[in-house]
C-alpha cells in the first residue's frame, strides 16, 4: 500500500471537511485576550487549543511559524508539540515559514520541515523563489520523495509586492511573463511532469485581496489537470469575503485553500469551536 501524497491528503480534506484552513497565529493581542501569557507557554496552549477545536471541523491548519520563532528555542520546542498534535489529529499541516535560499541552505530548510520524523515535520511548507524557481530543486525533490507539498509565493496581498511581482521576466522560458505569472507557470509545469492524480502537490500562494490580472496570473492554467492547489490568505480580517471565492478564483476555486485566522481566533477559546464550524459552513455554501 503506497503512502498518500500531499495531493492525496489535500483531496481528502476537501472532500471530507471543505476548503477552510484555520491559521494558528498566536498574536500578542490574541494571547492577552485569551488570558494567556505572552510567552512560549502561552503560544503552546494557544496552538493546542486551536488544534483541538479544528479537529473534526476542518481538514487543514496553517501555523504561522514567526509567532513561535520570536520566543527563541523554547518557542520552537512548543511548536514541535503543536505540529505533532495537529498531524496526530489527522489535520493537514501547512507550515507557514516562507523560507527561501539556494544550494545546501534551501536543502536544509526542506529537510527541517519536510523530512518524516523531523522535529518540525509538516505536510507542506510555504517557500520563496526569489532566487529563481530552479533554486527550489532540492525541496521539490524532497517533497516528491516524502509525499510532501510546497506552496510557492507568487502574488502576495501586501501592496508593496506589486512592483516586484508584476515586473516582466527578461530571460529563459518565462520571458515576457510577470514574475508572479512565471512562477505560477513553472509550478504548473512541475506538476504536469511529476503529479499522478487530478491535483499536484506543488501549489502557489495567491493573496485573495489582489487583482490577479494585474499580476499576470492565469487561473485556468492553474486549474488544468493536474491542478496546482492555491493557498489563499486574506479572508476575514484582511477584507476578502467567503462569498467572493468563486468570483475571485473562478475555475481554480475547486482546489483553493481558503485561510482565515484572526477572524476566527477572535472568538476566544470558549467560542472557537463554534466559530470554526460556522465559518466552515459558510465557506461550504459559497464554494458549492
Distance separating alpha carbons of residues 225 and 21, to the nearest angstrom: 23
Give the CA distances from residue 133 to residues 141, 182, 183, 192, in Å, rounded to whole numbers and listed in that order. Answer: 13, 9, 7, 16
pTM across the whole model? 0.97
Over residues 184-203, the pLDDT tens digits come to 999 999 999 999 899 999 99
| Mean pLDDT, the chain, whole residue set | 95
At 116-168, the pLDDT tens digits run: 999 999 999 999 999 999 999 999 999 999 999 999 999 998 889 889 999 99
> Would you place residue 212 in the very low, low, confident or very high pLDDT band (cuts 50, 70, 90)?
confident
Averaged pLDDT for residues 264-280: 97
User: Is 76:113 a contact under the CB 8 Å cutoff?
Assistant: no
Task: Cite the active site residues.
Answer: 98
- pLDDT tens digits along 220-259: 999 999 999 999 998 876 778 999 999 999 999 999 999 9
Domain membership of residue 96 as a residue range: 6-287
Angle at CA of residue 26, ends 22 and 28, nearest 5°: 145
Give me the number of domains the chain comprises: 1
18, part of any domain: yes
Query: What φ, ψ does residue 57 adopt, rounded to 5°?
Result: -105, -35
Give pLDDT tens digits for 157-180.
888 988 999 999 998 889 999 999
CB of 248 closer than 8 Å to CB of 223: no
Calculate mean pLDDT across residues 254-270. 96
Residue 171 lies in a domain: yes
Q: Assess if residue 1 is contained within a domain.
A: no
Residue 212 maps to a domain: yes
| CATH number, domain containing residue 138 | 3.20.20.70
Q: In angstroms, rounded to a whole number, what is the distance separating the alpha carbons of residues 218 and 228?
A: 11
Q: Is 72 exposed, middle or buried (0-12, 13-18, 19+ CB in 10 A)?
A: exposed
pLDDT of residue 1: 56
In SS3 terms, 232-252 reads as ECCEHHHCECHHHHHHHHHHH
The one-character DSSP state at 178 is B
Helix axis angle, 40-54 relative to 268-287, nearest 10°? 40
In a domain, 99, yes or no: yes
Amino acid at each position: 500500500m503506497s503512502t498518500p501524497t500531499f495531493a492525496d491528503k489535500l483531496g481528502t480534506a476537501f472532500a471530507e471537511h471543505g476548503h477552510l484552513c484555520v491559521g494558528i497565529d498566536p498574536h500578542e493581542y490574541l494571547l492577552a485576550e485569551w488570558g494567556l501569557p505572552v510567552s512560549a507557554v502561552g503560544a503552546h496552549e494557544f496552538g493546542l487549543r486551536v488544534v483541538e477545536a479544528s479537529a473534526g471541523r476542518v481538514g487543514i491548519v496553517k501555523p504561522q511559524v514567526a509567532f513561535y520563532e520570536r520566543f527563541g528555542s523554547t518557542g520552537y520546542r512548543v511548536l514541535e508539540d503543536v505540529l505533532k498534535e495537529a498531524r496526530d489529529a489527522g489535520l493537514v499541516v501547512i507550515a507557514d515559514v516562507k523560507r527561501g535560499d539556494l544550494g545546501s541552505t534551501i536543502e536544509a530548510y526542506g529537510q527541517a520541515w519536510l523530512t518524516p520524523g523531523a522535529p518540525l515535520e509538516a505536510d507542506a511548507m510555504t517557500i520563496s523563489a526569489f532566487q529563481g524557481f530552479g533554486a527550489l530543486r532540492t525541496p521539490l525533490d524532497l517533497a516528491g520523495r516524502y509525499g510532501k507539498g510546497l506552496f510557492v509565493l507568487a502574488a502576495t496581498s501586501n501592496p508593496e509586492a506589486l512592483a516586484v511581482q508584476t515586473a516582466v521576466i527578461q530571460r529563459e522560458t518565462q520571458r515576457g511573463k510577470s514574475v508572479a505569472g512565471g512562477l505560477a507557470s513553472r509550478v504548473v509545469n512541475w506538476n504536469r511532469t511529476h503529479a499522478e492524480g487530478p491535483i499536484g502537490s506543488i501549489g502557489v500562494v495567491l493573496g485573495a485581496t489582489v487583482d490577479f490580472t494585474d499580476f499576470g496570473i492565469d487561473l485556468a492554467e492553474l486549474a488544468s489537470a493536474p491542478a496546482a492547489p492555491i493557498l489563499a490568505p486574506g479572508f476575514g480580517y484582511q477584507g476578502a469575503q467567503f462569498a467572493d471565492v468563486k468570483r475571485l478564483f473562478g475555475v481554480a476555486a475547486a482546489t483553493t485553500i481558503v485561510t482565515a485566522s484572526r477572524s476566527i481566533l477572535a472568538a476566544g477559546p470558549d467560542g472557537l469551536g463554534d466559530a470554526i464550524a460556522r465559518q466552515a459552513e459558510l465557506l461550504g455554501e459559497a464554494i458549492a
